[in-house]
């Protein structure tokens, strides 16, 4: 059975490098946890 074909690696469509995209994702996570925390506090 033939192997699957290899696929190219490309730069992300935004923020230029993958490292920046990952950092943005982690900042987003921190923000969303903070928003959830504020939401909990506000409506407790």
Partner 1 sequence: MSSLDWIVLVTTLVSIVAYGLYRSRGSNTVDRYLLAGKSMPWYAMALSIMATQASAITFISTTGQSYVDGMRFVQFYFGLPLAMVILCATVVPVFHHTRVYTAYEYLEKRFDAKTRVLASIVFLCQRGLSAGLTIYAPALVLSVILGWPERATTAMMGATVVTYTVLGGIKAVTWSDVQQMAIIFVGLVISLVTVILLLPASVSFGDAVYLAGAAGRLNAVTTHFDWNDRFNIWSGLIGGTFLFLSYFGCDQSQVQRYLTGKSIAQSRLSLLFNAVAKIPMQFFILFIGAMVFVFYLFVQPPVLFQRIELKRIAGLSEFQPMSEQYQRAFEHRKQAALDLVEAHRAGNTPAENRQKAEYRAAQKELDAVRSNAAQLVESTGGEKGFSDTNYIFLSFVTRYLPSGIVGLVIAVIFAATMSASSGEINSLATVTVIDIYQRHIKRHQSDRHYLLASRWFTLFWGVYAVVFAGWAKRLGSLIVAVNKVGSLFYGSLLGCFVLAFLFPKVRGTAVFCGMLAGEAAIFATAWFTDVSWLWYNVIGCAVVVAVALGITFGAPGTTSALPDTQPQE
x/- map, 1-40, partner 1, by CB under 8 A: xxxxxxxxxxxxx----x--xx--xx-xx--xx--xx-xx
DSSP annotation of 8 reads: -
Distance in angstroms (rounded) separating the CA atoms of residues 6 and 32: 36
Q: Taking the complex as a whole, how short is the minimal distance between the CB of residue 6 and partner 1, in angstroms?
A: 6
Indicate if the alpha-carbon torsion angle 23, 26, 10, 7 is positive or negative: positive
Residues contributing to the site for partner 1 (CB under 8 A): 1-13, 18, 21-22, 25-26, 28-29, 32-33, 36-37, 39-40, 42-44
């Amino acid at each position: 059975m033939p192997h699957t074909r290899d696929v190219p690696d490309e730069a992300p469509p935004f923020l230029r490098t993958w490292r920046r995209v990952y950092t943005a994702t982690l900042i987003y996570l921190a923000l969303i946890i903070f928003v959830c925390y504020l939401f909990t506090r506000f409506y407790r």
